[in-house]
Copies of this chain bind each other. A is one copy, B any other.
Amino acid sequence: MSTRRTTSQDVAEHAGVSQSAVSRVFTPGASVSKKMADRVRASATALGYRPNVLARSLITGQSRIIGLVVSYLDNQFYPEALERLSRGLQARGYHVLVFMSQDGEDLDEVIQEILDYQVDGIVMASVAMSDGLAARCEAAGKPVVLFNRGQDTDRVSQVTAANRTGGAKVADLLVAGGHARIAHISGWLGAMTGRDRAAGFRDRLAHHGVDLAGEMDGEYRRDRASAAARDLMAGPRPDAIFVGNDVMAFAVMDTLRFELGLSVPGDVAIVGFDDVAMAAWPAYDLTTVRQPADRMVTATIDMLLGRIDDPARTPQKLEIDGPLIQRGSTRPVEAP
């Protein structure tokens, strides 16, 4: 039935040369004469030969596979990042093997599976990692990059947006907009992104001498954010809400407009975080802080491949600043 794959041995026989010669032709930088290369390539295409990546990786110790751990894809920021990551790695000869992690605690098992595949590196998208686990990966010689998730450790590299600064920018904007009662529905406070955005926002408000008129944990979930919006509106009404990410901000806007009959930005101004594609759609037209997915992904790839090429390099933390994008969900304000 399924014909045996053609091997370098087959090509060697067909071309009348040794197997090692064939291998060298397909190994960049190996020593082969032009004549040999031509001859082997001719036989190779005649037989439809291509090197077996798995066998190769067995001996080189390089699989050209990057493991990606991701816990959910329903925040549009992640599919976008995944697409860029995959394209970028592909362009450099790597490919992404996907591992979905339940929100539960099977992360250990997931990492084990990843290591079983002999990946060359690991990207964890918005997933936290115990210190012991990080140590295990590094001990196995597999560099790890935490994408969009900060953590207090020096064992692994990290790429995040400038969350504190972003939060501060929002504070500046809302204060400049003359808002008196400003509230916050935060991202999940169990994660550093959520905490940093909130802290940056709070600190900057304080710096302006403005008190926070309410803060609730939206946990990065649509339903929690809607509930939080209802709660906030039940008391003395805020006239502006900074929401910890765009997806929650959409939920808040929907709740305000269609459930409570309020106008955005007429009654309440809304600001999000991420700048996913939908934020620009007219139905929401959301003012938000951009997380520059392109630069974040580029940095992630560079860090990862950098450490693969030179294992002596040490882990690194990088924060990437993104601009505040003013749109219709806030009243226009001169740039500060």
Contact = CB atoms under 8 A, between A and B. Distances in A.
Interface of A: 1-3, 5, 50-55, 57-58, 63, 65, 72-74, 76, 78-80, 82-83, 86-87, 90, 95-100, 112-113, 115-118, 139-141, 250-251, 253-254, 257-259, 277-278, 281-284, 311-312
9 A-B pairs closest in CB distance: A2-B141, A258-B282, A73-B79, A79-B79, A254-B282, A283-B283, A53-B116, A96-B98, A73-B83
Given A54-B57, A54-B118, 18 more contacts: A1-B311, A2-B139, A2-B140, A2-B311, A5-B140, A53-B116, A54-B63, A73-B80, A74-B80, A74-B277, A79-B79, A79-B82, A83-B100, A95-B98, A95-B113, A96-B97, A250-B283, A283-B283
Given A3-B139, A76-B76, A282-B257, A116 B65 contact: no
A274 to B, nearest CB: 14
Contacts of A281: 250-251, 254
A45 to B, nearest CB: 12
A90 B95 contact: no
Contact of A73 (B82, B98, B141, B284): B82
Given A95-B97, A98-B98, A141 B54 contact: no
Number of copies: 2
Contact of A284 (B52, B79, B116, B283): B283
A87 B101 CA distance: 9
A98 B116 contact: no
Contacts of A79: 73-74, 76, 78-79, 82
A281 to B, nearest CB: 6
Contacts of A278: 278
A129 to B, nearest CB: 18
A308 to B, nearest CB: 11
A147 to B, nearest CB: 15
A115 B48 CA distance: 12
A54 to B, nearest CB: 5
Nearest to A51: B116
Given A96-B97, A97-B97, A54 B50 contact: no
Contacts of A5: 140
26 contacts: A2-B140, A2-B141, A2-B311, A3-B141, A5-B140, A50-B112, A53-B117, A54-B54, A54-B63, A54-B117, A58-B58, A74-B79, A79-B82, A82-B98, A86-B98, A86-B100, A95-B97, A95-B98, A96-B98, A97-B98, A250-B281, A250-B283, A251-B281, A257-B283, A258-B282, A283-B283
Contacts of A140: 2, 5
